[in-house]
Chains A and B, each alone.
Chain A
């Protein structure tokens, strides 16, 4: 039972480069989301999706794109990496997207932009 799988675990980018962080879940969860975690701060929501074909912005969406073509996958794209995007990124999912449903997290991707 894989749960939520994120790849890669680590990534170093140069300013201006683009890349995609992958997230896949095998629990048939409707709700998927991306967070970033910076030192000394809680998690901040980047984008989320309540089902295939539906995405919306969170608290800090600038510089990131998402798509949800299948229930299982929710990739996060960095369009033109900036040092301010150095962070740990978490993908999380739940079923259903309701107030009593805990999020299940992937193990995170540590991204450094130089």
Chain B
């Protein structure tokens, strides 16, 4: 069965510091994608970054990067130089080639302190 685990229910980080949000996954699919979404207090779901299972390099999008370790089945999100606006819930999700449904973690609530 497919599963996403986010072990950090909440995190406090000082502004301008880098932060790593953990995500581990389990799947038997050969091809799969890993996604991170941000949900601010306003409620919308914002797509941040994608990593494919066959991608050689870690994905980067601006201040966001994905530390992908396939052998360890981890796909951690790294936010560099955190800003107050980064305070939000962050969800890790996976989509496999067996049924294409997006499987979600429970999320991590990130609070950036000024």
Interface residues of B in 35-71 (CB under 8 A from A): 35, 37, 43-47, 50, 52-53
Residues of B within 8 A of A92 (CB): 45, 102
The answer, yes or no, to whether A40 is at the interface (CB within 8 Å) is yes
Q: Could you tell me the distance between the alpha carbons of A95 and B99 in the complex, rounded to whole angstroms?
A: 15
Number of interface residues of B (CB under 8 A): 27
B101 x A99 contact (CB < 8 A):
no
Q: Chain A 78-114, CB within 8 Å of chain B: the 1/0 string? A: 0000000000101010000111111111011010000
Q: Which of A12-20, A21-29, A42-50, A65-73 interfaces with chain B?
A: A42-50
From A40, A42, A88, A101, contact of B95 by CB (8 A): A101
Question: Which B residues touch A45, using CB under 8 A?
Answer: 101-102
Shortest Cβ distance from A105 into B: residue: B45
**Are A98 and B47 neighbours in the complex by a CB distance under 8 Å?**
no
CB distance from B61 to the nearest CB of A (A): 11
A108 touches B44 (CB 8 A): yes
User: Given A33, A42, A50, A108, which contacts B107 in the complex, CB threshold below 8 Å?
Assistant: A42
Contacts of A108 in B (CB 8 A): 43-45
CB-nearest residue of chain A to B9: A40
Number of interface residues, chain A, beta carbon within 8 A: 26
CA distance in complex: A48, B53 (Å): 24
State whether A100 and B44 are in contact (beta carbons under 8 Å apart), knowing that A41-B106, A48-B101 are contacts in the complex.
Answer: no
A31, B100: Cβ atoms under 8 Å? yes
A86 to B35: give the CA distance in the assembly, Å. 27
Give chain B nearest CB distance to A57 CB in angstroms: 11
B91 in contact (CB, < 8 A): yes
On whether the beta carbons of A107 and B91 are closer than 8 Å, the reply is: no
Report if A58 contacts B (CB, 8 A): yes
Q: A42-B91, A88-B43, A90-B45 are in contact. Are A102 and B105 (CB under 8 A)?
A: no
Per the bound structure, the CA–CA distance linking A102 and B35 in Å amounts to 7
New A-B contacts (4) at CB < 8 Å, excluding given A42-B107, A98-B100: A33-B102, A88-B43, A101-B33, A102-B47
Q: Which residues of A contact B (CB under 8 A)?
A: 31, 33, 40-45, 48, 50, 58, 88, 90, 92, 97-105, 107-108, 110
